[in-house]
Structure 1
Amino acid sequence: MTSVISLLTDYGLEDGYIAACHGVIVGISPESRIIDVCHLVPLGDVRRGAAILAQTITYLPPGVHVAAVDPSGSRRAVAVEAGDHVFLGPDNGLLSWAIHASGGARAAYELSNEEFFLPPLSTTFHGRDLFAPVAAYLAIGRHLDEMGEEIPINRLISLPAPTSTVQDDYAEGEVLSVNRHGNVQLSIGAADLMTLRVSLGDTLVVWMGGRRLAVPFKESFTAVPPGEIVAFIDSVGLVALAINSGDASQRLGLPPGARVRLSPAP
């Protein structure tokens, strides 16, 4: 097994939680290279964590990827093999989009063998006491089937896949995620706009429930003056709505999951 271990959590950076996870990993697998994907996922926001992991996994080397975002704290802990990766996390859908982006699950296991946990196992810090040591043991060559019983892949919890549709004169999708700047990422892709024959410099009509707004389609959010709204293609090829030096999600009232329709301006 490769020695690369990545971490994604909602633990924040104000305390020593991440350092503790690093310390546990290095104590077991000193040669491991640790990649911190993100620790500022909004508290308990499984959907946001899933989006970040799925959109990052293509750029990560083969390895063990720990994701710990679980508002309930009571989900079973699982390990899932997909492509060149092993994903560790709660079985709450957090891993599902990244698993799909990696080619789909090949095998799944419940993490139940306490031999590989850090004793005593905390009821509130599985990132340190369960996921970090299991990741480290896998990195030094222990096998997944040692960590617990294999479970059916079709029993894993999955988040509903983001959807988008394209008709003759519009594309409709949903707010996939909102980043810390308030930029609104849609499930509508660049190819959808090409189908509508929308080009840079055109104007899009954004339909949000009963509201509509004309928005310029530019190369980035910096292409409009501060305070202005713009649509652009983000770094993963999806349409995003942003305000230069502002919060588009707040101004437009678009939380994750909200439905949005885009059409070329007449």
Structure 2
Amino acid sequence: MGRYGWISLTTDYGTFDGFVAACHGSIARVAPDVRVIDITHHVPPADVTRGSHVLAQTAPYLPESVHCAVVDPGVGTDRRGLAIATPGGVLVGPDNGLLIPAAEALGGIDTVVELSNKDWFLGDLSRTFHGRDLFAPAAARIALGAELTEAGPRADPGTLVRLPAPVVTLGDGYVEAEVLTVDRFGNVQLAATGGLLGGLGHDLLLNGGVRARRGATFADVEQGDLLVYEDSAGQMAIAVNNGRAVVVLSVTPGDLVRVANR
């Protein structure tokens, strides 16, 4: 494989402890000249679904990279560690569904290997910190141009763990979709694509009783009013001009929201 000048990191480690610094250190010990982009370290703890969406919606906008992602409630079990080659970069992390949406966003899966070569580990492999001891040093070796097959045996892409597909239902004058994410501004992103807004009118009802307007940007509605729009990731989303849609709707990821003509 070719060399990569960048490694991205996505984790649920937070920034109050030394976990992220240890991962940076593991990379620097193997590949000191490779630069690191921190996508986020504030994925909610063990929220693989949230981490998968953040990674998939961000990775295509980064330089071609090795993307190291660790949201890993199964750490220390028999779940596999993987490296996945795609046309747009390489993904490294646990086999729990975290990497698959990003692999699809980067052009699809070309090759998968299991990270089992102990020479690629950084010292003894901790039972609880594979980000430091396995995934970060593996990402660094790949960034330096190591062949994936050096990391371990090939794996059948059909055997990879995949997260359940989010719910999206289309009806006469409505779209019902699962909440994918809620960002720090309180905007609610749905599993439905923004293009489905074209089948709806401009005056809408959310969950049967909350009034909203279809628009393109926050200022298309009055301050405090609800807007349904296509967000920067191409998804249908709900916002409040100068407010928090998540509070108004009282939803969390996984809940269903119906967007219907008024």
**Would the TM-score normalized by the shorter structure come out above 0.5?**
yes
| Alpha-carbon separation, structure 2, partners of 1:193 and 1:230 | 12
AA aligned to 2:72 is: D
2:96 aligns with 92
1:5 aligns with 7
2:73 corresponds to which of 71, 74, 86 = 71
| Alpha-carbon separation, structure 2, partners of 1:106 and 1:22 | 27
- Map 1:79-228 to 2 at 5 A: 79-196=83-200, 198=201, 202-207=202-207, 211-221=208-218, 223-224=220-221, 227-228=224-225
AA aligned to 2:71 is: V
Pairwise CA distance, 1:188: 2.0
| Alpha-carbon separation, structure 1, partners of 2:232 and 2:247 | 22
Indicate if the aligned counterparts of 2:83 and 2:92 stay in contact, CA closer than 8 A. yes
* CA deviation vs aligned residue, 1:86-135 (integer Å, no higher than 9, x gap): 11111110011111112221111111111111112211111111111111
| Alpha-carbon separation, structure 2, partners of 1:68 and 1:87 | 11
2:234 aligns with 237
AA aligned to 2:239 is: A
Gaps of 5+ in 1: none
1:54 aligns with 56
- The alignment's TM-score, normalised by the length of structure 1, stands at 0.89
* CA deviation vs aligned residue, 1:163-199 (integer Å, no higher than 9, x gap): 4343331222211112233321012222111123x3x
Indicate if the aligned counterparts of 1:97 and 1:161 stay in contact, CA closer than 8 A. no
| Alpha-carbon separation, structure 2, partners of 1:220 and 1:243 | 10
Distance 1:92 1:34, change over 3 A: same
Stretch moving more, 230-239 or 116-125: 230-239
Pairwise CA distance, 1:230: 2.8
Pairwise CA distance, 1:21: 1.2
AA aligned to 1:217 is: R
Pairwise CA distance, 1:20: 1.6
How many residues align structurally?
A: 258
| Alpha-carbon separation, structure 1, partners of 2:217 and 2:36 | 32
Pairwise CA distance, 1:246: 4.1
What secondary structure, in the 3-state scheme, does the structure 1 residue paired with 2:111 have?
Answer: strand
| Alpha-carbon separation, structure 2, partners of 1:44 and 1:215 | 33
CA RMSD of aligned residues (A): 1.9
Q: What percent of counterpart residues are identical?
A: 45
Pairwise CA distance, 1:264: 2.1
AA aligned to 2:203 is: T
- The alignment's TM-score, normalised by the length of structure 2, stands at 0.91
| Alpha-carbon separation, structure 2, partners of 1:46 and 1:144 | 24
Pairwise CA distance, 1:245: 4.7
Distance 1:190 1:10, change over 3 A: same
AA aligned to 1:257 is: G
